[in-house]
Amino acid sequence: MRLLTEAALLGLASGPACLASCGPVLTPWLVAERAGWRRAFGLLSVFLGGRLAGYLLFAVAAGLAGATMPLGARERALLFAAAHLGLAATLVAYGLRPRRRAEPPLVTIGPARRSWMPVLLGLFTGLNLCPPFVVAAVRAMETGSVTGAVLFFLAFFAGTAVWFVPFAALGALRVAETVATVARFTMLALAAYYAYLGILTLLGRLLHG
């Protein structure tokens, strides 16, 4: 229980750092969506779900590694390079995706099309090497078991998730088409940045072992 409280408090206390880390992705994405309050909350929930999945994946890895051996620098670097490249690819796909029709068709036959983009954005930002995440990863590894690490990350996620709620307001903004286009361009610019980070990490690993 003490460990869970610690994880939740760590999440709550380091929320601003999480925002600074995930904000650059969340802001243009939600502005580009022009979703309205209800859909914005829905999108944010899916995003957070993806983020939770990223946390839990890492928690399982950290728990397994902590139980046998510490997660090496090489593996960490490869994981974060992959996360950055995945994030860049998702942002590019999102930025270049054709615009959603303004008016829905009168009759929709078959199941509604779902997009995996918010899940992927959440997953890849969840695996980002931001300072609170590193602290949580170290503490999760110290638990020495998969269950302990998963529970730690669950509580940590609950603490940080509170800070993301205000972002729904960005999705609710009814911005002009031009602003939405700028937001999409911004996602492409950010994709270039994350791709660069991923490639640089990979190059560093290849050159320096």
Compute the least distance from the CB of residue 98 to another protein, in Å: 15
Q: Which of 5, 9, 13, 20 binds another protein (CB under 8 A)?
A: 20
Compute the least distance from the CB of residue 181 to another protein, in Å: 6
Compute the least distance from the CB of residue 44 to another protein, in Å: 17
Q: Is residue 148 within the footprint of another protein (CB under 8 A)?
A: no
Q: Is residue 77 within the footprint of another protein (CB under 8 A)?
A: no
One character per residue 112-131, x = contact with another protein (rule: CB under 8 A): --------------------
Q: Which stretch binds another protein (CB under 8 A): 34-42, 99-107, 157-165, 198-206?
A: 198-206
Count of CB atoms situated within 10 Å of the CB of 186: 19
The residue (of 29 and 152) whose beta carbon lies closer to another protein is 29
Contact 75, 146 (CB under 8 A): no
3-state secondary structure 34-101: CCCHHHHHHHHHHHHHHHHHHHHHHHHHHHHHHHHCCCCHHHHHHHHHHHHHHHHHHHHHHHHCCCCC
| Phi and psi at residue 148, to the nearest 5° | -60, -45
* Distance from C-alpha of 175 to C-alpha of 33, rounded to nearest angstrom: 10
Q: For the CA atoms of 67, 69, 70, 75, what is the dihedral angle to 10 degrees?
A: -110
Q: How many CA atoms lie within 13 A of 120 on its CB side?
A: 17
Compute the least distance from the CB of residue 16 to another protein, in Å: 8
Q: Which of 36, 72, 144, 204 binds another protein (CB under 8 A)?
A: 204
Q: Say which residue the tokens 């609710």 belong to.
A: 172
Compute the least distance from the CB of residue 184 to another protein, in Å: 8
Q: Is residue 41 within the footprint of another protein (CB under 8 A)?
A: no
Q: Which stretch binds another protein (CB under 8 A): 76-84, 132-140, 146-154, 187-195?
A: 187-195
Please spell the DSSP secondary structure of 116-175, one letter per residue.
Answer: SHHHHHHHHHHT---HHHHHHHHHHHHH-SHHHHHHHHHHHHHHHHGGGGGGHHHHH---
Compute the least distance from the CB of residue 138 to another protein, in Å: 21
Q: Which residues bind another protein (CB under 8 A)?
A: 20-21, 23-24, 27-28, 178, 181-186, 188-190, 193, 196, 200, 203-204, 207
